[in-house]
A and B are shown apart, each in its own frame.
Chain A
Amino acid sequence: MTELRETEAATAAKVAAIELRGVVKSFQSHGETVTAVRGVDLTIAEGEFFSLLGPSGCGKTTTMRMIAGFDEPTEGQIILHGGDVVGVPPNRRDVNMVFQSYALFPHMSVFENVAFGLRRKNTPKDEVTRRVGEMLEIVDLAGREKRRPRELSGGQQQRVALARALVNRPRALLLDEPLGALDLKLRQAMQVELKRIQREVGITFVYVTHDQGEALTMSDRIAVMNEGVIEQLGPPRQVYERPATAFVAGFIGTSNVLSGTVARADGDTAVIEPGPGERILIPGAAAEAGGTVELTVRPEKIAIGLHPPDGEACALRGTVTEVVYLGTFTNYTVRTSTGAEVVVFVQNASSADDVAASGDTVWLSWEPRHSYAIGA
């Protein structure tokens, strides 16, 4: 905790690695204006592992391309390490990009591909050999120096692309879905490897991914994008547990979105009472009695039982509509008295039978601190 504060303080004092101010990007295509990015503000600290997460077509690649210098923003400013870079060509920006399509040089060997950036900076020959060798060792491609890209598997090509960018030790590395083509095992190994490299070399990573699990485990902070805007920006835990919008709640993990009319407000806790014995407490919701409030609860925070819970927990009655056994978890879908469908994950801790079967009337309960008002 103290360590976290220290890094935060240190970050605040330093110049931001990457800063986007009111960045808008429109394309002209077939006589129409397509706005891919509509007003993005971002500050990424030096050495931070920053992820851009969002559905296909939300503007992640476009944002990256503007930082790297392949596209110029229609509006707004891009500041790299304190200097405005709008108009500066890509070869004079101290960032490197790992392309979604790898973009390896097909006519060069693996070694020449990785050495390309170093040679452009007139690095001495023996240093090139040494650094390329080290880098290929790291990405587990030692011994394949002489191969051409087309003689490698998709995953190997992706690792060459990574090595080709990393070997230059740029101040910031932009990675556009760099692990997309890898199988699960290699993907996890590379995640650990990337994280290690990032920590060791201390470079800023801007990481684009579709995979929320990857974003959650690797990032210091995540920006969730949708249709060209950032819907939420924060540390993984915050984005996961306290989604700011219904979109974020739906996009990250499985989330239950409930809504109701506020019956009363106890201090800063709003209370919904859908039926007899049922109550939903939402701490920190700035809602008044009579207003409507939307909230989310994560499926793994909800307990399922045949009797109403005791004490101050949130309680909701419903009928089980589906039970899916998933190994470590059992996944229940429950239609609540309010009509909403709620998903509940119950860990299969013991070999006991399922808590409930399809058609049973059950009680759902969770601690009030797990209810989050959306947009609060």
Chain B
Amino acid sequence: MTTMTQAGPAVRARRGRHGWGDRLLYAYTWLIIVWLCLPIAVMIAFGFNNAKGRLNLTWQGFTFTWYGKLFAVPDLTTALVNSLTIAVLAALGATVLGTLIGLALGRFRFRGQGALNLVQFAAISAPETVMGASLLSFFVQLGVGRGYLTILVSHIMFSLSFVAVTVRARVLTLDPFVEEAAQDLGASGWTTFRLVTLPMIFPAVLAGGLLAFALSIDDFIITSFNSGSTLTFPLWIWGAQKNGLPPQVNVMGTLIFLAGVLLAVGNAVLARRRR
């Protein structure tokens, strides 16, 4: 579920003239869209497959059965609930902490600023296996039992930088005098933040939060290092696939994908209305 839609400014197409270049670009665009959608289409289709036996790999007819029996596999349901709650909590945690860091990096000059910037990008670009392994040894050193909490902490940790980077970029484009104007008109520091700063950076905060959610619900590698016996959706699928995946997996995937599409569309509509 990595559907992040950036509602950028609409590109105004040249009207009237449709040269070869335009047609090629048009064809290419649709080719990419189809290519990106193909695996998703397969996933959605096999949620409706009337599969018999363990394997859900060949088409055997259309059915709504699996939508009715969505929660018929108890372990899978637990794994999905774990994934969803961890993703929501991790997104909230990463959004709050990341926004504060992004604000500080964009607005102030302070000791250690350069180092913080560097570490942040290192956290973004570090291989996940390295990060997962080092988090594991960190938790082992501390004697913390692996499970739900360690997954949550590691998810907040690796998605925080993404929020901070997004927010910082937004803060850098803001006119600092706007906040001063609010203070000048009698707003305290907190009121200024609530009524002026936060609404101005909100698109970036939201984008960062959604990114954190998507990263968390998706994550396999780091989670697998730090999960202990707790299973998340991706971990359960990985474990179950040797014996064949139940069609419920496809149905859940479809629903998560749909939620993502709805969020993206809502975001785009809001952005258009705000413009």
A: which residues have CB within 8 A of B? 68-70, 89-91, 95-97, 99, 101, 103-107, 116-117, 120-121, 164-165, 168
Contact = CB atoms under 8 A, between A and B. Distances in A.
Contacts of B200: 106-107
Contacts of A121: 186
A180 to B, nearest CB: 14
Interface in B176-199: 177-178, 180-188, 191, 195-196, 199
Contacts of B177: 99, 101, 103
Contacts of A107: 199-200
A156 B8 CA distance: 27
Contacts of B185: 91, 96, 116-117, 120, 164-165, 168
Chain B interface: which size bin? 10 to 19
Contacts of A70: 180, 183-184
Contacts of A106: 178, 200
Interface of B: 175, 177-178, 180-188, 191, 195-196, 199-200
A91 B180 contact: no
Contact of B175 (A89, A96, A101, A164): A101
Contact of A116 (B180, B182, B188, B199): B182
B187 A120 contact: yes
A151 to B, nearest CB: 10
Contacts of B191: 120
Pick from B177, B180, B185, B188 the residue with the most CB of A within 10 Å.
Answer: B185
A69 B181 CA distance: 11
Contact of A105 (B178, B183, B184, B186): B178
A99 B179 CA distance: 11
Contacts of B178: 103-106
Pick from B182, B183, B186, B195 the residue with the most CB of A within 10 Å.
Answer: B186
Given A106-B200, A107-B199, A120 B181 contact: no
B182 A105 contact: yes
A260 to B, nearest CB: 49
Contacts of A90: 180, 183-184
Contacts of B195: 116
Nearest to B179: A103
A68 B175 contact: no
Contacts of A99: 177, 180-181
A344 B260 CA distance: 76
Contact of A103 (B180, B187, B188, B199): B180
Nearest to A97: B184
A97 B183 CA distance: 10
B186 A117 contact: yes
15 contacts: A70-B184, A90-B184, A95-B184, A97-B181, A101-B177, A103-B181, A105-B178, A105-B196, A106-B178, A107-B200, A116-B182, A117-B185, A117-B186, A164-B181, A165-B184
A271 B199 CA distance: 69
Nearest to B174: A106
B103 to A, nearest CB: 17
Contacts of A168: 185-186
A53 B85 CA distance: 62
B135 to A, nearest CB: 39
A168 B181 CA distance: 13
